[in-house]
């Protein structure tokens, strides 16, 4: 059975840990700093000598998810440069890297977008740096899995809901799909979601309003590859 480590304890990291009991490390619990990553948590030391990795699978849930921030450097440092360092480390130690991406890389694609489509992200540093990380991992990664998805907190019930379309869902429904992909040893890129829906379907109590002009209206993804693999 795989020995799995979750990096990060945000919405998705916590849910994965809750549903599986997999180990996790984070800034709040362990002082892990993605700006100056030290991967000693991932390898076994004895008398100062490195022998072997502690885990054979690492799930990267660390990201700057401030989707519409114009802070380019922060997005670049966390969403891209950290992934480069993590990819190179995992390659060195033959660790499988599961990277959590976003359906927003398809913001300008005709929907529903397929994994084989060339992603056309919206003009945000969030989407662009997430896609850069996907591309680096695709080109330079060894054993990897990229999960493109959108998740919302289980207890998030906004009073107003944007009129937009997605394949995302509350995190309690997205996490099991990622867990199944990992347990079945999926590799490559997978769109991960629970089917076509509107944000109103996820948050039925909220008042439906027009989305701001900068928000993608439709980021639905084709889930055929996911559904076929998980049969």
pLDDT level of residue 21 (50, 70, 90 thresholds): very high
101 Cβ neighbours under 8 A, 6+ residues apart: 130, 131, 133, 134, 146, 147, 148, 149
* Dihedral, CA of residue 204, residue 210, residue 211 and residue 214, to nearest 10: 170
Tens-digit pLDDT profile for residues 65-81: 999 999 999 999 999 99
CB 99, CB 145: distance < 8 Å? yes
How far is the C-alpha of 205 from the C-alpha of 135, rounded, in Å? Answer: 38
**Structure-token pair, residue 188:** 């490559």
Mind spelling out the 3-state secondary structure of 122-141?
CCCHHHHHHHHHHHHHHHHC
Mean of the pLDDT values across residues 23-40? 93
pLDDT level of residue 43 (50, 70, 90 thresholds): confident
Tens-digit pLDDT profile for residues 120-162: 999 999 999 999 999 999 999 899 999 999 999 999 999 999 9
Tens-digit pLDDT profile for residues 79-99: 999 999 999 999 999 999 999
**Structure-token pair, residue 214:** 């900068």
Mean of the pLDDT values across residues 195-208? 97
Average pLDDT, the chain: 95
User: How high is the pLDDT of residue 50?
Assistant: 66
């Amino acid at each position: 059975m795989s020995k799995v480590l979750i990096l990060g304890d945000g919405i998705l990291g916590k849910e994965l840990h809750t549903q599986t009991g997999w180990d996790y490390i984070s800034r709040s619990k362990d002082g892990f700093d993605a700006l100056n990553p030290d991967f000693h948590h991932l390898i076994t030391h004895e008398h100062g000598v490195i022998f072997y990795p502690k885990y054979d699978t690492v799930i990267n849930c660390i990201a700057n998810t401030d989707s519409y921030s114009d802070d380019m450097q922060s997005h670049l440092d966390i969403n891209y440069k950290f992934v480069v360092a993590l990819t190179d480390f995992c390659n060195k130690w033959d660790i499988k890297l599961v990277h959590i991406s976003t359906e927003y890389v398809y913001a300008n694609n005709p929907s529903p977008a397929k994994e084989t489509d060339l992603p056309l992200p919206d003009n945000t540093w969030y989407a662009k740096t997430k896609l850069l990380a996907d591309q680096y991992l695709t080109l330079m990664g060894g054993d990897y899995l990229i999960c493109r998805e959108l998740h919302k907190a289980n207890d998030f019930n906004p009073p107003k809901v944007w009129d937009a379309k997605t394949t995302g869902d509350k995190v309690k429904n997205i996490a099991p799909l990622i867990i199944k992909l990992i347990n079945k040893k999926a590799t490559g890129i997978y769109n991960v979601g629970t089917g076509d829906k509107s944000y109103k379907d996820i948050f039925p109590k909220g008042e439906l309003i027009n989305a701001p002009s900068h928000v993608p209206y439709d980021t639905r993804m084709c889930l055929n590859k996911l559904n076929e693999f998980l049969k």
